[in-house]
Structure 1
Amino acid sequence: MRFYSAETVKIVFVLGAFGVAYAVLDGLNVPALLGAYFMVQVIPTLIAAQLGNRTTK
C-alpha cells in the first residue's frame, strides 16, 4: 500500500509541475516537453532491461 501511495504522490506532483510550467512559461512546446519526459522515464528502463539480459561467460 505504501508503494502505491508514493506512486500516486509522484503522479500528482508531476502533473502539477507540468501544469505550472504550462501556465508560467510562454511559448512552451508541450509535445517536446512530454516527449522528453517520456524518454527520460523509458530509456533508463530499456537500458537496464538490456543489461539485465546479458549473460556472463
Structure 2
Amino acid sequence: IKVTNQLMERKGVVELVTQMYSEYYKPADIAKAVGINVDSVRKILKENNVYIRKSWEYPRK
C-alpha cells in the first residue's frame, strides 16, 4: 500500500505554478511542464490571488 500526502503534493504544485508564472511562463507552458491542464493552472493562480495577465502583457520573444 502506497500512502501519499496529497496536501503536501498540492502545495508543491501550487508553489511551482506560481513561481513559473512569476517568471512569465504562459499557463499552457506551465500546464505542460507540471503535467496538469491549463484550467487547473488558472484555478491555482486565481485561488492564490495572482493577477492573470492578458496575452499582450507577455514580453515579446
* Bin of the TM-score, shorter chain as denominator length: 0.3 to 0.5
Q: Whose relative contact order is higher, 1 or 2, with alpha carbons under 8 Å and at least 6 apart? A: 2
TM-score, normalising length: structure 1: 0.43
TM-score, normalising length: structure 2: 0.41
Q: Identify, as 1 or 2, the structure richer in helix.
A: 1
